[in-house]
Chains A and B, each alone.
Chain A
Amino acid sequence: MPTIFEITNTALGTISPAVPFAMDDFIGSLPDTFLVYTLISGVGEEHADNAETCRTYRVQVSIMKKSGHVGLPDVDTAMLAAGFTRGPERQLQKDSTTSHYGLAKDYFYLT
């Protein structure tokens, strides 16, 4: 079974038009638009006979874009198609050095 990182990686790879993305941090010069994903938590939800039967993962996908929050990459469609459900989202502070705006979106995945 693929890991949550592989599942997320595959999902973000289906976004069209393609957007550069990375896990945790983006190495190299920053594109005008890019994504970063991070695993926030993985919690066992149900157990039976001393074994975990169900786990929820929370993954944060941060959308970074220099021109603001208009015309953002369609992360929702890609993540929902991969089996995630939508969670809360929050605007990040604009980076005064790189001029990127940010939006952090949480997604949940139940295994």
Chain B
Amino acid sequence: MTTYAKIELKGLDEYFKTIKQAGIDIDAAAQRALDAGGEILHSEMDNLVPKDEGNLQAHIVILGPFLDGNLNYVEVGVLNADAKTTIYGNVQEYGSPSKNIKSQSYIRAAVDRKKSAVRKAIRESLKSEGFVD
């Protein structure tokens, strides 16, 4: 039960199809854009995660970018961690009310706080490569 956020680039299929037909590699540009967005999320999660020994913080990583069909995405969060860290990460994110452990969200809060910045970074990256106005 990993805890992470996923950033996808979709909804631009028709536009990207036209670009592809022009012989331009949009996937590489899309993945660079997702990298830029992923870095922002990672940085905010790093900032918000509860820090004790730093083990949970050390396990917040970016995986990808990946290409699945025509879907490009990155995953950011507690991924590929050992079971103990994963459970600890979930308890910090969602809390454990019966143990009086309060939620200290670092995944959802990071996404909520940085969603505009992520969108902007993705757009800026694509813009810098001449893909969007």
B112:A58 contact, CB within 8 angstroms: yes
| Interface residues of B, count at CB 8 A | 19
Cα distance A23–B56 in the bound complex, in angstroms? 25
Per-position binary interface string of chain B over residues 99-133, scored 1 when its CB falls under 8 Å from any chain A CB and 0 otherwise: 11111010011001101000000000000000000
Describe A's contact surface by its main secondary structure.
strand
Is A106 a contact of B112 with CB atoms below 8 Å? no
Q: How large is the interface on A (under 10, 10 to 19, 20 to 34, 35 or more residues)?
A: 20 to 34
In the complex, A102→B101 CA distance in Å? Answer: 13
B113 near A41: Cβ-Cβ < 8 Å: yes
By beta carbon, the residue of chain A nearest B110 is A41
A64 at the interface (CB under 8 A from B): yes
Please name the residue on chain A nearest to B48 by beta carbon: A41
Which one of B94, B95, B108 lies within 8 Å of A41 (CB-CB)?
B108
A-B contact pairs, 18 of them (CB 8 A): A25-B100, A26-B97, A26-B100, A38-B103, A40-B108, A41-B109, A43-B112, A43-B115, A58-B108, A60-B95, A92-B94, A92-B96, A93-B87, A93-B90, A98-B99, A100-B97, A102-B96, A104-B94
